[in-house]
Amino acid sequence: MWCFRFLCICFFVFNLYTVQAQVSCRTPNGENARCVPINSCTILYEAVLTKDPEVVRFLRESQCGYSSGPLVCCGSVASFAPPPTSTIILNRRPDLLPDTQECGYQDDADRILNGEITIPEEFPWAALLGYRNSSGFEQFSCGATLISQRYVLTAAHCVAGKILRAVGTLHKVRLGEWNTETDPDCYGGGTFKVCTEKPQDFGIEEAIPHGDYVDGTRDRYHDIALIRMNGNARISKYVRPACVPQPSSDQITTANKLVVVGWGKTETGKYSAIRLKLKVPLVSEASCNGVFSRAGVNVRSSQLCAGGEKNKDSCNGDSGGPLLIERNNIFYVVGVVSFGAP
């Protein structure tokens, strides 16, 4: 379990995207179709009852939105064969955000376990930021989230100010990492042993902290940043962007359960080598200020609070990592980890 604290999250975008039913869409097979509730699509509704892995994959790729329930792109062709290659090439400019058919989903979702340990295919948008000091020593000290082939989202304090003096120059972005102590990452044993692709490392073309961020303040307002990598990510089952919500629909409330992901300290005080996940509740602004005011911090409406459950919050090492919400098996990044309170 992770150590105990509230998290203050720099609020990225507050609302989630809701696709209206009956808009046009394209199925994974390339057929022009309509976006409808799944129970209105006989082909997919009946096929999913078979629990065939190919059908599950096809259904996930057919997701086209959410409106009081999952929406799917409903065609007339009952062929669920996988595409000829497992590598996905985004068909939009790499510096633009992908749509919900290209982001936010995980392969092998039926293998994902409860608890805090992830599997390599889980949260393929989780990234690490590497720093190098004047002696050449390198270490990972912040997290980030891949949001397109060229950009990751992180905290402003991870790209500017004190961290660059204390830890070193921001040197690289690593994608597709699962276990920082092994290369390649393998899991299982014997005939069930599976090894992942090698991580993808990219240099920093530009780090862009929020224009109003002021380093060193307790409140850390506007603690959010983008990093443009010096190359395009190769999209695969281990590397894929999270979805970015649109500012036009469902609000996040304290009824929502959110997820943080990272390699932060465990209850032993050590950093985890393996990527961890944790479900955390959203905390009201009033409750949040009740905790942070004792440290002289005033939380604004542009910040979120999450966590506060004993032994169940992320700690040092997760700065800049994602706060996620899941809608119909699609994950949206709604904030980045900024700081915490005891």
Q: What is the pLDDT of residues 96-108, one digit of tens each?
A: 678 777 899 887 6
What pLDDT sits at residue 87?
Answer: 40
Mean pLDDT throughout 232-240?
A: 94
Q: Where in the chain is the domain with CATH 2.40.10.10?
A: 6-17+243-341, 124-229
Q: Is the pLDDT of residue 77 over 60?
A: yes
Average confidence score pLDDT of the chain: 77
> What are the DSSP E strand ranges found in 40-198?
63-66, 70-74, 126-132, 138-146, 151-154, 169-175, 186-187, 194-195
Q: Where in the chain is the domain with CATH 3.30.1640.30?
A: 18-93
CATH class given for the domain over 124-229 = mainly beta
CA distance 181 to 171: 19
What pLDDT sits at residue 67?
Answer: 57
Q: Is the pLDDT of residue 3 over 60?
A: no
CATH number corresponding to 6-17+243-341: 2.40.10.10
Q: Does domain 18-93 have CATH number 3.30.1640.30?
A: yes
Bigger pLDDT: 77 vs 194: 194
Q: Is the pLDDT of residue 267 over 60?
A: no
Q: What is the pLDDT of residues 293-339, one digit of tens each?
A: 777 777 767 777 777 655 554 444 478 999 898 888 889 998 888 86
* pLDDT band for position 127 (cuts 50, 70, 90): very high
Bigger pLDDT: 173 vs 255: 173
* pLDDT band for position 240 (cuts 50, 70, 90): very high
Note the pTM of the prediction, 2 decimals: 0.70
What pLDDT sits at residue 248?
Answer: 53
Q: How many of the other CB atoms lie within 10 Å of CB of 156?
A: 27
> What residues act catalytically?
157, 223, 319
